[in-house]
Amino acid sequence: MDIKPRLLDQVRGQIRLRHYSIRTEAVYLEWIRRFIRFHKYRHPQDMGASEVEAFLSDLAVRRDVSAFTQNQAPSAILFLYKQVLQIELPWLEGVIRAKRSQRLPVVLTREEVASVLAQLDGTLWLVSSLLYGSGMRLMEVLRLRVKDVEFSRLEILIRDGAKGQVTMLPSKLVAPLQLHLERVKQLHRQDLLEGYGKANLPHALARKYPNAAAEWGWQFVFPSINRSEDPRSGGIFRHHLHEKTIQRAIRNAVRRVGLHKPATPHTLRHCFATHLLESGQDIRTVQELLGHADVKTTQIYTHVLNRGGLAVLSPLDRP
């Protein structure tokens, strides 16, 4: 007699089968747990539209959670019913999503950015400078592999699933980044000597290329100080630097220079886009550098539009 795995184990298995990120896995599992707890541990198979709507209404009305949080919940529940329980609920896909407010992004002046970066040093300064100088998101910077940095062309390849995006590498960061990578390479050599030195490869690449995980090109540009166990494979790897390290450093730097704007690492991406447009860069080019699928997303930065005529130059490289 076959024994079915527990519901959450089934969810976990379906998520991993589809190569969703570990963050998505954690978020979906938490929402499904909350949905089940909300209905006194009834099995989702015995529930339907009214129970889901009651749960979502409670989030919006009684708990007053943000629009982003409200929209996470139906995605997790839809995955549970459609992919795990194999139950089609067409009404769930049509559930009205909370409309996220279109607030203008927080943007610092060039002088404010310079003052914040001046409060940082070492790896913290280098990561933060890349955020501003290339327009990458925080996790894109932290997930960079050595082979994704092309010094000769001053380019950085951002890998996002099957898609690939190219952004600029500021020339001012070439020497500091090369020096940083020399130190990382020494750390990698030491890991290899101690029987480690493998990076956690995305999806099934570890099986397809069993020796690639130990290669220098696959190592993280910004590795963690400590090795840790991968929660999925159980292997010991040196993962990338934790995002909270950078978030905390920038928050403290903003406070030290006396800024009262709610600036975060993502603010530096906003500054990248805004300062390029202010200097006359064409919005289509900025759209491509940011990786926006639609120019409408980039138009939130349109302080200045369509002046064109300038060669693309990182705001970090301008005098």
Catalytic residue among 23, 153, 163, 260: 163
292 is an active site residue: yes
Catalytic residue among 33, 137, 147, 180: 137
Residues in the chain: 319
Alpha-carbon gap, residue 155 to 291, rounded angstroms: 14
132 is an active site residue: no
Catalytic residue among 33, 34, 147, 292: 292
List helix spans (H) across 135-173. 138-142
At which residue do the structure tokens 């629009």 appear?
67
- How far from 58 is each of 41, 126, 301, CA to CA, in Å? 17, 43, 35
Phi, psi of 26 (to 5 degrees): -65, -40
**Which pair of tokens denotes residue 81?**
């019913």
Q: Minimal CA–CA distance to 315: which of 105, 177, 172, 139? A: 172
List helix spans (H) across the chain. 7-17, 22-38, 49-61, 67-79, 90-93, 110-117, 122-134, 138-142, 174-193, 205-208, 243-256, 265-278, 283-290, 295-298
Alpha-carbon gap, residue 301 to 312, rounded angstroms: 17
* Sheet containing 155-160, strands listed edge to edge, beginning at the edge strand earlier in sequence: 149-150, 155-160, 163-168
Phi, psi of 165 (to 5 degrees): -135, 145
Q: CA angle 60-61-66, nearest 5°? A: 35
251 is an active site residue: no
End-to-end CA distance of the chain: 73
- How far from 162 is each of 230, 247, 316, CA to CA, in Å? 23, 28, 29
266 is an active site residue: yes
34 is an active site residue: no
Catalytic residue among 145, 269, 270, 275: 269
240 is an active site residue: no
Q: Minimal CA–CA distance to 288: which of 70, 134, 153, 142? A: 134
**Would you name the residues annotated as active-site residues?**
137, 163, 266, 269, 292, 301
